[in-house]
Amino acid sequence: MAAEDRLAHLRLGGAIPHHIAVIMDGNGRWAKERDLPRPFGHQAGMTAVREAVEGCLAAGVRVLTLFAFSQENWQRPADEIGALMLLLEEYIAIEADELRAEGVEVRVLGEIDRLAPSAREAVDRIVACTAGGDKLALNLCISYSSRAEIAQAARRLAQQCVDGTLEPAQVDEAAIARELYTAQWPDPDLLIRTSGEMRLSNFLLWQLAYAEFVVQPVLWPDFTREHCFDAILEYQRRERRFGKVSV
């Protein structure tokens, strides 16, 4: 089925997920299959990011959160990390103006103070350049750890209790959610993971509590908007009960 046909079907098929989260997995395996160094897989994955953004824009998705670089990834070889940082700067240089023109607002979630100065400057530039975009919120999770995010939220709430601005009895789910990076957006409705792996990999552990999971065998560099549409079509076939029973 062509992309246009998939898009027509999903527009008729039911609710469009407001927020999609993606674990972009398989760059290394893609490169290995082609006897290429791992950074070539990461570079090829940049095209897939564009496909995901275009697919979400076409489908009417309002928020797209991409897991680009975890805190655990800092343990990778220095040359691979350096290549990833350069690719981040390259992506921003190539895409910033186009994203702004398409109404995409970019945010970067994670401990970005750990980035090299040039990468941090590039991040600040794309955030400023795309501010005010009203078609799609694009969240890039870079130097991100969900456990660290939750621990940071707990520390902030604890400090508020110490300061007397919050009572311990007021620390509920809503209070925790307000301290997370994603506080201004609804939780993801749909999680897509590529490469066939069945793990959350320390990604949005709190926010994905009731998301529908769609795992696709495609390696991330081969991901296209058709794969995005297929995941939405699968989402539309699901019955979302949120712990309740069907009526």
**pLDDT for 245:** 56
Residue 155 has a pLDDT of 98
Predicted pLDDT of residue 246: 60
Residue 240: band (very low, low, confident or very high) from pLDDT cuts 50, 70, 90: confident
Predicted confidence (pLDDT) per residue in 166-208, tens digit = 999 999 999 999 999 999 999 999 999 999 999 999 999 999 9
Exposure pattern of 73-103 as b/e (b: 16+ CB <10 Å)? Answer: eeeeeeeebebbbbbbbebbeebbeebbebe
pLDDT over 70 (residue 242): no
* Catalytic site residue from 5, 27, 35, 73: 73
Confidence at residue 19, expressed as pLDDT on a 0 to 100 scale: 98
For residue 12, pLDDT beyond 90: no
Query: Which CATH architecture is the domain 20-51+68-127+140-187+201-232 placed in?
Result: 3-Layer(aba) Sandwich (3.40)
pLDDT tens per residue across span 142-174: 999 999 999 999 999 999 999 999 999 999 999
pLDDT higher than 90, residue 2: no
Local confidence band at 130 (pLDDT 50, 70, 90 cut-offs) = very high
Token look-up 């712990």 returns: 243
Check residue 137 and give left, alpha or beta (phi > 0: left; psi -120 to 50: alpha): beta
- Model pLDDT for residues 216-225, shown as the tens digit of each residue: 999 999 999 9
Q: What are the two backbone dihedrals, phi and then psi, of residue 105, each rounded to the nearest 5 degrees?
A: -100, 120
Q: How far apart are CA 73 and CA 89, in angstroms?
A: 17
Domain ranges of the chain: 20-51+68-127+140-187+201-232
CA-derived radius of gyration, the chain: 19
Is 27 a catalytic site residue?
no
Q: Give me the helices (H) in the chain, please.
A: 3-13, 27-33, 38-59, 78-101, 117-130, 146-163, 173-178, 225-237
How far is Cα 90 from Cα 93, in angstroms, rounded to an integer?
Answer: 5
Annotation marks residue 25 as catalytic? yes
Beta-carbon contacts of 168 under 8 Å, excluding residues fewer than 6 positions away, are 161
Those residues whose C-beta lies under 8 Å from the C-beta of residue 1, and which sit 6 or more positions away, are: 9, 226
